Amino acid sequence: MTARKEEVGPSGLASALVASGALQSDWLPTFKAVPRDMFVPDRIWPGIADGTRQNPVVDRAKDPDAWLRAVHSDIPLTTQWDDGSHTGDGLGKTPSSSSSQPHMVFSMLTDLDVKDGHRVLEIGTGTGWNAALLAHRLGAENVVSIEFDPAVARGAAENQRTAGISPLVIVGDGRLGYVGGAPYDRVIATCSIGEVPRAWVDQTLAGGLIVAPWGPLYGGEAIARLTVAGGAASGPFTRSSAFMRLRQQRPALHPHDAYLKGHEWPADGARSTTRLSPAEVGGWVEQFAIGLQMAGAFWTVERYDDGAYTLWTYSADTLSWASVDYEPGADSLDVVQSGPRRLWDETEAAYLWWEGQGQPGFERFGLTVDSDGERAWLDSPDHPVPVVG
């Protein structure tokens, strides 16, 4: 018996998305009317842009079949590196624009819960596909999309004109929203943020929704679905995510040398040991839970040929650092900490809190944004996530 060949094309992608639950019946006509291939450039890098699961460039002119397979697969497609300065076929340093994974696109549109007559503000136009989907559903006159990169905005607008759907595309700072089209029933961001801009809340009608990928500096990220009321916004996280950061919120992280300040490790660091393995704190949800508690901290890994590595944790102000030496199979690991914050002690406390709460997933966490700032919570706004350190 011959195995059934997987269908390649928009119908096959639609079937996969429907089967996964991402593509709901009310969005299916729009998916068919606004095909992804009309919004993807000729040169793309398929896969996750983390340097380990990123495929080589696929050039439509050189291999049209591979290009079509990538476009009609449920994967993200990087379309720009290094804010456009990287033009070669290889991987750049930092991905800066993409066509998002279709599963995530339609999951977020489901979270957005648009109704006829709604006005929507989108932050991050990218290739223009997401705004075109919204414009087909709601009418182009009801959709405004903001893109910071002029070249990306021009490409998106051209894609939309070719598709016969032209929402308003504005070149500007997405943090400011677009007051000329306000108020909005819905705001959606297709780039991640670490802080919800005040303008998004102010430009959203009471009862309206803000749907945006949100993540702490430390790591981890999830989709926040916030309801606006009384000048504030609050709601749960709905699912894990991994988006490129809003350019104006990209963190300016200091290099390793800024912490040891010219001294050889361990410098003035205090030595101790730990039984908590760095491997246990490296998962996406673990990073998220730790990052909610450890404001202004981030980490890097220094790997060695024998499978061992050092986990370095830093404070954004360059005053504190910690190192943990991981060795496969070791029960006790060496720790060195320096500065006013004992960053590994904070990491252990944050991890143990998460473990003590039953190792909650993203969906048990939520976020409130008001005049006092932002507060993450677990299960209810009445139960804020504690801050360590």
Helix axes 129-138, 102-112, angle to 10 degrees: 40
CA 29/CA 32 separation, integer angstroms: 5
CA 329/CA 271 separation, integer angstroms: 21
CA dist list (Å): 35 to 29, 38, 137, 159:
10, 6, 14, 11
The residues pairing with 204 across neighbouring beta strands, listed in sequence order, are 184
Q: Which positions ≥6 away from 190 have C-beta within 8 Å?
A: 100, 108, 122, 123, 124, 125, 126, 130, 243
Residue type, 4: R
Instruction: Determine whether 50 is exposed, middle or buried from the number of CB atoms within 10 Å of its CB (0-12, 13-18, 19+).
Output: exposed
Residue type, 388: V
The dihedral formed by the CA atoms of 111, 116, 119 and 121, expressed in degrees to the nearest 10 = 30
Q: Residue 100 catalytic? A: yes
Structure tokens at 248: 């104006």
Q: Which member of 96, 100, 240, 315 is catalytic?
A: 100
Can you list the pairs that 194-199 forms with residues at least 24 positions away whose Cβ atoms lie under 8 Å?
194/245, 194/249, 194/251, 195/249, 195/374, 196/224, 196/226, 196/233, 196/367, 196/369, 196/374, 199/175
CA 371/CA 76 separation, integer angstroms: 36
Q: Which positions ≥6 away from 271 have C-beta within 8 Å?
A: 334, 335, 336
Residue with tokens 């709901």: 24
Tell me how many helices (H) and strands (E) the chain has.
Answer: 10, 19
- DSSP letter, residue 173: -
CA dist list (Å): 5 to 2, 17, 175, 235, 306:
9, 18, 46, 43, 42
Residues known to be catalytic = 100
